[in-house]
Structure 1
Amino acid sequence: MGRVIVFGSLNMDLSIACERMPRAGETITGGDFLIGAGGKGANQASAAARMGAEVHMIGAVGADVFGERLVEGLRADGVGCSHVTEAKGATTGVAVITRCEGDNRIVLDPGANHLLDADAVARALDGLVGGDGAGSVFLVQLECDVAATLAALVCAHRLGMCTVFNPAPACELPVEVWRHVDVACLNETECEVITGTAPVDDESALHAMELMRAWGVRTVALTLGAKGSLVLGDGGLIRSVPPKVEVVDTTGAGDTYIGALVTGLAAGLPLEQIISRATEASALATTYLGARPPA
């Protein structure tokens, strides 16, 4: 199995449940307060490591207790953290999550996540793969500095790595970046921002995915929440429907899907098998509270 290298965010999640979302200016009483490890990058790295991949994390935390706990947690999951920087004078990223009826809303302070620049990421990649990234998978999101993230994609692609891009949180991006992306994985909201098309049915979803393929992306995975996912690659369209589960919390379900996806890519599995496993893992991730499963 090839290795998985993740450049991404490490956040501490502060999560609280409520019966309904508060209105503007309103204070309501909640409960079930949780403090847990999060950040899309760290979540995806942890999921991949738990599924058996050799995973290395590139990122930054503050010189504080949150940062210490996040790095300790990743190491406990089997993630290599030699390229996670402890930034003096910066705070670790924090996500404030409101949970309501199995759904969630998130406010994020990126903190140290935005400190690493393109040169720092390139040096970390060189230290991990040298000049040959063949057989390795490189995964990024958009919770770190955007310019550094896009430059890292270009660098990894030139090194021969399989590049996987989860454009979340979504923003406008230069079209030319997509030719450096082997696999794009995005949800319905991100799809609409990126392509200008809301995937409300099969026709609109296929239109959006075909557009991204025309930009240069080889495989596009569109996650659809409880409806599963649609994946368009060289072999045509794959539809994957999740098993029925009792949903407790959707936080981290998409990150689990991506963790399973990159694990399958690193193992060289057939795409249909990869997507089936990712869909099942994502469904199971909604059966417990928080972004990561209990130890």
Structure 2
Amino acid sequence: MSAPALAGTDELRAAAEHGRVCALAAQGQRELQRGLAAHPDLFGAGPFDAALASSIALAMAFSAPWCTAAQLRLSNRAVLWGFALDWQVDHETTAAADLDLLVRRQRAVAGGGPPDPADPLGGFLAELRAELAAGPGFAAVGEAWRDAVDRTLAAMGREWHWRADEHRPALTDYLANADNLACTVVNVAHWAGVGGPRAHAHLDRLVAASDAVQRALRLVNDLASYERDLRWGDLNALLLVPDRAVVEQELAAQVRRASSLIDELRPDVPREATYLARQLGYTSGFYRSTDFWGVP
């Protein structure tokens, strides 16, 4: 169904565009909720509510509004896997041996192995990988995606040990571990699904810029979720540097660095650069009022 052309005020046309993007998000939310319902062992407990599905779908729709709902399906599901992994590591894993097993299982599935029947998280990742592998971009991006999965698993495991050992890393080490935010792993999956040969040719630079965005968003998240992190026992930059002004200054520096890398990409991959810029801007605005997680 095509929308009628709107003559009139700029406000009218802007609102119509916002409505179109929200409709794209609504389609994504319905798809995500079907995914939640299909995996009750994985998403039946914890803060996996309808608002989380809506928040994920909105974030992806506003980051890549030129995509169709079908094109964003894989990206949305990649975000959901990141949330599920984060919940499993932070709130379901109580022993180092269990953490090691979880990491081994996910790495095996990312490499193409079958999931363990007792591992619902691996089962969900296997579905994601199969969809990725069926696309035309996997030959070019598959190795980078597996590397991003590995980095995400390593970062989440590292933070688990920091918390278990009551270790407070330096802020620089904490930011170096920003793959635990699971942002770049989603972006690589997104580019595998919708990025063309030009994006794949510049994938190393895109990943570097995505990592910079990820570090900035790590601090955006922390500044917004400090109270929740205290309740949940999570690490937060404000626990490492009690002076909020110092963290805000570091965030500003990280945003400048990410923006510089994005600007360098624009002549070669303008759409992918815009995607990263919109991701940074949207998420920064989102965290001013709320959080992705529901109440457990």
The higher-RCO structure (CA 8 Å, 6+ apart) is: 2
TM-score (norm: length of structure 2): 0.32
Of structures 1 and 2, the larger Rg is shown by 2
Q: Which has the higher strand share?
A: 1
